[in-house]
Amino acid sequence: MKTDSQIQTDVMQELKWDPRVTHEHIGVSVQNHIVTLGGSVPSFVEKNAAERAAQRVEGATAVVEKIEVKPVHSYVRDDQDIASSISSVFKWNIQIPGEQIKVSVAKGWVALRGEVDWGFQKNAAEKAVRALIGVNGLFNHIIVKSRVQSADIKQNIEDAFRRAGEREAKNINVSILNGHVTLSGKVHSLSDLREAKIAAWCAPGVTEVEDHLVVTA
């Protein structure tokens, strides 16, 4: 089992290795296998990339992200310009039903609201916004409509887990209430945890995914 010091070194190396991350201004601390990221980056997409990089490191059981977005001058845009860019991106992205999503922007923070039919549409909208210059943060309040029985949702998710790997499927419990999925149990890494959530979101009728999964270091 890795020590906290080893995990800290690996996270710092992973941040340095990832070309999407401006690692020089990111601080890393580790306590009881929990990684905390601090400091600043020039864009929201880099902030997300830094968190993903830390999650890839073996031995990390959780990542606490406290990175601040401090745009350089070339990244600063007014709210109207950001909103216009989001509207354009949604219009040309086939996965995003832009006419069903309302966008508001305040001081670079974006809020998304509305209703969509699929979880992947909600996630696609969030991913598109994260990548835009000038965005400092994001609130995704999009609601996914539920039109599928809970028992069917549960079966679909469990089948997806089994296809991905029998060992992980046995360790993950799935419960459903009105389209709200709760995952509990154990996984072997933060990457496995993320993949489990993605698999759950792919099931038709899922309106929200909440994870209580524990990473066993």
Q: Give the chain's mean pLDDT.
A: 89
Q: What would the CATH number be for the domain defined by 73-144?
A: 3.30.1340.30
Could you tell me where the beta strands, DSSP code E, fall in the chain? 26-31, 34-41, 62-65, 68-69, 101-106, 109-116, 137-144, 172-177, 180-187, 208-215
Question: Residues in the chain with pLDDT < 50?
Answer: none
Rounded CA-CA distance 15/60 in Å is 14
For the chain, the helix, strand and coil percentages under 3-state DSSP, each to the nearest 5? 45, 30, 25
Predicted pLDDT at 165: 64
Amino acid at 131: A
Rounded CA-CA distance 95/48 in Å is 21
Rounded CA-CA distance 41/20 in Å is 11
Predicted pLDDT at 74: 67
Strand partners, 39: 26
Instruction: Say what the pTM is.
Output: 0.65
What stretch(es) of the chain map to CATH 3.30.1340.30?
A: 4-69, 73-144, 150-215
How many alpha carbons fall within 13 Å on the CB side of residue 154? 11
Q: Which CATH number fits domain 4-69: 3.30.1340.30, 3.30.420.40, 3.40.50.1400, 3.30.450.20?
A: 3.30.1340.30
Q: What is the pLDDT of residues 11-37, one digit of tens each?
A: 999 999 999 888 788 999 999 999 999
Q: Any idea which fold 150-215 has?
A: Histidine-containing Protein; Chain: A; (3.30.1340)
Rounded CA-CA distance 208/54 in Å is 24
Predicted pLDDT at 156: 86
Say if CB 97 and CB 116 are below 8 A apart: yes
Rounded CA-CA distance 67/195 in Å is 23
